């Protein structure tokens, strides 16, 4: 579940960045139709949906994960869940509430040309990119050492890798977001593409050599 938590932190940072860069568009939604607002914020909404589903995965595991079969497993899982709930509390209060509060505060008080925006965008962008690297590099290394896809789903990667590139296109080209908004998504799609190629090779071609 460390992977899911780190992914949540990284995705939330991307949402904060997109929130910053789309602030003026968000304000425009007060005077335009809901459909026009959706079209204006489509890329931002895409990032929000990606983060939301990772957040739901973490909640489901935290509160609805099947109970272990024996006492020793139960003790181990109880400790893990206690730590996970503590980390979730810190993540929710400090990172989510703090992150959104900071972005709203900056946008209300400062001009978009202010240096504080460059610092904030860079900070959230670096955090998001770092979380993606921390999550995916060990997985690539593990897959390489095992010479097998393991529990990875090739079908899932076939959807998520191209989806990441499509999202990157919308963020970078169609909606012209700053580089720190779309770069983490591009990183993630690239790592997933590498994993997909490795999984396909180990699953279908390695044995035929």
Structural domain of 202 = 2-208
**Rounded Cα–Cα distance for residues 88 and 95 (Å):** 10
Neighbours of 90 (CB within 10 A): 10
CA 111 to the chain's CA centroid = 28
If one compares 110 and 144, the residue with the highest pLDDT of the two is 144
Name the percent of the chain lying above pLDDT 90: 19
Q: What is the per-residue pLDDT across 130-160, written as a single tens digit (0 to 9) for each?
A: 999 999 999 999 999 988 888 888 998 999 8
**Rounded Cα–Cα distance for residues 9 and 130 (Å):** 10
Reading the block at residue 66, the tokens are 């099947």
3-state SS record for 135-193: HHHHHHHHHHHHCCCCCCCHHHHHHHHHHHHHHHHHHHHHCCCCHHHHHHHHHHHHHHH
Name the percent of the chain lying above pLDDT 70: 90
**What number is the average pLDDT over the span 162-184?**
88
Q: What is the per-residue pLDDT across 60-75, written as a single tens digit (0 to 9) for each?
A: 877 776 655 556 666 6
pLDDT of 21 reads: 84
pLDDT of 130 reads: 92
pLDDT of 141 reads: 93
Residue 39 near residue 170, CB atoms below 8 Å:
no
Q: 140: buried, middle or exposed (CB in 10 Å: 19+, 13-18, 0-12)?
A: middle
Residue 170 has pLDDT above 70, yes or no: yes
Residue 186 has pLDDT above 60, yes or no: yes
| Closest to 182 (Cα-Cα) out of 59, 22, 53, 73 | 22
Residue 193 near residue 166, CB atoms below 8 Å:
no
pLDDT of 209 reads: 54
Considering its fold, how many domains does the chain have in total? 1
Residue 135 near residue 127, CB atoms below 8 Å:
no
Residue 161 has pLDDT above 80, yes or no: yes
Residue 88 has pLDDT above 80, yes or no: no
* Polymer length in residues for the chain: 209
Residue 5 near residue 58, CB atoms below 8 Å:
yes
Q: Using pLDDT thresholds of 50, 70 and 90, give the confidence band for residue 83.
A: confident
If one compares 167 and 65, the residue with the highest pLDDT of the two is 167
């Amino acid at each position: 579940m460390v992977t899911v938590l780190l992914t949540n932190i990284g995705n939330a940072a991307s949402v904060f960045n997109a929130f910053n860069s789309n602030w003026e568009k968000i304000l425009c939604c007060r005077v335009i139709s809901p459909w026009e607002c959706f079209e204006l914020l489509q890329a931002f909404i895409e990032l929000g949906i990606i983060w939301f589903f990772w957040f739901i995965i973490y909640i489901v595991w935290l509160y609805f994960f099947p109970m272990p079969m024996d006492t020793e497993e139960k003790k181990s899982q109880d400790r893990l869940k206690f730590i996970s709930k503590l980390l979730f509390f810190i993540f929710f209060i400090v990172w989510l509430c703090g992150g959104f509060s900071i972005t709203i505060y900056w946008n209300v008080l400062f001009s978009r040309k202010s240096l504080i925006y460059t610092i904030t965008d860079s900070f959230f962008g670096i955090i998001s990119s770092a979380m993606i690297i921390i999550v995916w590099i060990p997985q690539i290394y593990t897959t390489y050492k095992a010479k097998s896809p393991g529990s990875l789903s090739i079908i899932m990667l076939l959807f998520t890798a191209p989806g990441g590139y499509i999202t990157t296109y919308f963020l970078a080209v169609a909606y012209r977001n700053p580089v720190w908004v779309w770069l983490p998504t591009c990183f993630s799609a690239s790592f997933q593409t590498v994993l997909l190629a490795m999984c396909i090779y180990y699953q279908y071609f390695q044995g035929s050599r």
